[in-house]
Chain A
Amino acid sequence: MIKIEKRNDVPMALYFFTPFIAIILTILGGGIIFYILGFNPIEALKFYFITPISNLYGFSELLLKATPLCLIAIGLSFCFKSNNWNIGAEGQLTFGAIVGGGVALLFYNQEGFYILPLVILAGAIGGMIFALIPAILKTYFNTNEILVSLMLVYVSKLILDYLVVGPWSNPEGFNFPETRQFSDSSRMPLLFEGLRIHAGIFLALAAVMLSWFILYKTYLGFQIKVSGLSLKTAKYAGFKGKTMILVVFMISGACAGLAGVGEITGPIGQLHRMISPDYGFTAIIVAFLGRLNPFGIIFASLVVALTYLGAETAQIFLQIPKYTGQVFQGMILFFLLASDYLLFFKVKILSLKKNELRH
């Protein structure tokens, strides 16, 4: 018979160490998969985790991919910490990109220092508005935010589809499903000549600092913490539950919207169908791998960004589909949840004789 007991005291140090265990297990698991597929596991893992960042360009790509992941995960940590399960960041990212992109398209033939801030602001507001839909439905109509936020992802993607093939498509674009190129004033400044890494990374870093401050130093952060641990206590203390739900969703949506606008004004430069390789979903893994801690999230976003890059390298050198990236992301989440389970619960195996079973 197996008995599962809750552990009374989990050491903090171990709590922050288990993500590393999960990463090590993921690498081992990846090695096994490569071996089964007939590759030399050491070599394959080298292609996956070392080659992509062995030169400056690769490192810049790593930061480029980590930027949206970090931004979105920071926003999600507000929701998750307060027991609000927003899993629609991908939709908020898309809608943020639509609104931000719309503003950029308004200025497609103009230049001016004020354009980029406007585009960025519009993106954040777009994401915020889109996140408010599940939040309002949850607070006033008792709907489940998991379902609503998830379903809205597809809504936003269809709106984007409609816009890029229809009203917003490039008149000189030979009917390709894409908009005009944004003007240079709508583009994120590049940090280095020849590399794609852009100023959006400062937005992510600012979000990290700001979220740390809000979560640990303000009344709002305290309310989020208490609500996440016990909704009953939050109610008893008289926190304004509805307002808080709206606020955390707005923060989360704004961050996702910023990530979206960072992509289209950064590496992409226009709107088209594929503006995000599911950053909004992957950021959920990033948030948990980083323990919903702002600085943990920086680290986690780098690790998970590497799985994106590794998948691309593996596709080139090993001729395996780039969806192995998702296999690795899935393994990280799986091993993290598994080690968390063992961290919080003791599993006891009790011996049981046969005749007792029959009784």
Chain B
Amino acid sequence: MATDLRISNISKIYPGCIANDNVSLQFKSGKIYALLGENGAGKSTLVKILSGVISPDNGEVFLNEKNLKLSSPLDAKKNKIGMVFQHFNLFETLSVFENLSIDATEDNKSLRLRINEIFKKYNFSIDLDVPVLNLSAGQKQKVEIIRCLLRSPKVLIMDEPTSVLTEQETEELFISLKKFCDEGILIIYITHKLKEVLSLCDEVAVMRKGKVVSVSQTQNEKVETLANKMVGQKLAKIKKKINISKNKDEIFKVKHLNFYSDDPFETNLVNLNFSVKKGECLGIAGISGNGQNELFQILSGEIITPNTSIIFRNKEIAKLNPKQRREYLMAFSPEDRISQAAVPELKIYENVALNNFKASNFFEKGLVNERKIKDHSKKILSDFSVNTDNVELKSQFLSGGNLQKLILGRELITAPELLICYNPTWGLDVGAINYIHETLIKINDQEKSTILISTDTEELLKLSDRIAVIYKGKLSKIMSSEEVTPEKLGVLMGGGSID
């Protein structure tokens, strides 16, 4: 039976922001629909309304011309609307089967039978009795999808499903989604990745600032046209010119980096060796959870490992803490903006004071020099175009992009010789991403080096001079970014080999 989902004049207003402004859309089964937009465009709000997590202020949702009252996620389930969120809602220490049986209404035996039918039908194979923490991101996502399929959904909503997948896993996902679509499940695919829209979806709705700005057939679109619709302005294309600088000095050298942890949620690192040249960007690719966290913390000095040698500008720094490493002109931008790189409850100038290097004189003889910190903060705010000039503002009121600009500004204003950043553009919108990419390229142009640990391959290919892949705590050989293709990276990130 054909499914017809209609959203009519949906509005949702939050204090100070219109998340959805009179949104109307129509979806029919047999097609895959993309919902495209930057962060903050209103996609998530719309999806939350469809899945009953929040209620709209205005407007209605019709499924096969029946007006749906979606006041809780249960209502969405009851009306056969399935949802796979970007962050998995699984119990890591329970087995796959236990996770699937939590909200099942039937007995275990018939549930197992039905799961096996789904496995056969879609060519899935996952061991049902292993704990979820042993699964890869792609497998976890399959568990989420199976959970939806068990309720024979009419509508399946996928929220940014590929953000944690390898290229191969993404391909597998697309094949499955196309199968679901052929079977009459209506698929709504939320993303900000343009290429995925083009390769997977039939129709694309673009949202900007809470409004639907365009609905079109994907065959009539190109990456550039979609990007322009999404951002609303012509994007300046940036592409780094690669620094082929074989004769340059190595300013940073890591030898025998090993890390062992008893914690099952941490990844052990096995004998990492690499070096960074002056003015170069070394990219480290990998799916999240393959040791990037641990690597970043060891490079920044938050974790000190025995028997490791880290040479920076001809000095052994392996035993130094982050503050001491900063004195040698290193800078760090961690992945977690909100609870590590900055404290939301602190004012902007207090967050700036976190990078307290000797020459800053923020704390003279142990006393706070508020004036100096504030002047310095004002300079950062204007130099790195953060959209406020109020240094007394609490950081929690900055958007993700502005917070990241503040953090990068704080780290870069000291003119460090080496910046180590980890997913610097994670969760940011295109405008902010461009700004940050330009900034990172500028650093290399000034003969300063960067180590970019990132899970975004596109970003890595754009910014790095050389790239290595980290997989299960091991580093692949380092390749010049000219010889690297997304496919090669994908193979390595998934644990394959390319030779």
Contacts and interface: CB of A to CB of B under 8 A. Distances in A.
Q: Do the two chains bind? A: yes
Interface of A: 1, 8-9, 216-222, 225-226, 229-230, 232-233, 235-240, 350-352, 356, 359
Contact of B302 (A9, A236, A350): A236
A8 B341 CA distance: 19
A221 B301 CA distance: 23
Nearest to A238: B323
Interface string B304-321: 000000000000000001
A220 B368 CA distance: 9
A232 B301 contact: no
Q: What are the nearest 9 A-B pairs in CB distance?
A: A238-B323, A238-B322, A219-B363, A232-B340, A237-B354, A238-B321, A229-B343, A219-B366, A235-B302
Contacts of A230: 339-340, 343
A121 to B, nearest CB: 23
A229 B334 CA distance: 17
Contacts of A233: 339-343, 354
Interface string B343-365: 10110001001111000000100
Centre residue among A230, A233, A236 by max chain B CB count within 10 A:
A236
Nearest to B77: A359
B211 interface: no
Contacts of B1: none
A128 to B, nearest CB: 20
B151 to A, nearest CB: 11
B325 A238 contact: yes
Contacts of A236: 300, 302, 322, 332, 334, 340-341, 354
Interface string B288-312: 0000000000001110000000000
Interface stretch (B68-76, B227-235, B449-457): B68-76
B239 interface: no
A207 B72 CA distance: 54
B336 interface: yes
A354 B332 CA distance: 54
A238 B353 CA distance: 12
B341 A218 contact: no
Contacts of B78: 356, 359
Given A229-B346, A352-B72, A240 B367 contact: no
A203 B85 CA distance: 58
Contacts of A226: 343, 346, 350, 354
B326 interface: yes
B396 interface: yes
B324 interface: yes
Contacts of B355: 237
A236 B323 CA distance: 8
Nearest to B301: A238
Interface residues of B, number: 35
Given A226-B350, A233-B340, 15 more contacts: A216-B368, A219-B363, A221-B368, A225-B346, A229-B343, A232-B336, A232-B339, A233-B339, A233-B342, A233-B343, A235-B302, A236-B354, A237-B354, A356-B74, A359-B78
Contacts of A218: 363, 366-368
Interface of B: 71-72, 74-75, 77-78, 300-302, 321-326, 332, 334, 336, 339-343, 345-346, 350, 353-356, 363, 366-368, 396
Centre residue among A232, A233, A359 by max chain B CB count within 10 A:
A233
A359 B103 CA distance: 10
A351 to B, nearest CB: 8
6 contacts: A219-B363, A219-B368, A236-B341, A237-B323, A240-B321, A351-B71
A226 B363 CA distance: 15
Centre residue among B324, B334, B346 by max chain A CB count within 10 A:
B346
Contacts of B324: 238
A217 B396 contact: no
Contacts of B367: 217-219
Contacts of A359: 74, 77-78
Given A8-B396, A217-B367, A218-B366, A350 B72 contact: yes
Nearest to B363: A219
Contacts of A237: 322-323, 354-356
A343 B368 CA distance: 31
A350 B72 CA distance: 9
A111 to B, nearest CB: 40
A356 B76 CA distance: 11
B369 to A, nearest CB: 10
A350 B75 CA distance: 13
Contacts of B354: 226, 233, 236-237
B366 A220 contact: yes
A233 B322 CA distance: 11
Centre residue among A1, A238, A352 by max chain B CB count within 10 A:
A238
A70 to B, nearest CB: 25
Contacts of B346: 225-226, 229
A164 B370 CA distance: 52
Contacts of A220: 366
A329 B301 CA distance: 45
Contacts of B300: 236
Contacts of A8: 396
A1 B340 CA distance: 34
A226 B367 CA distance: 16
A216 B342 CA distance: 19
A221 B362 CA distance: 13
A110 to B, nearest CB: 39
B366 A350 contact: no
A235 B336 CA distance: 13
A220 B365 CA distance: 11
A226 B339 CA distance: 11
Nearest to A232: B340
B365 to A, nearest CB: 9
A239 B77 CA distance: 49
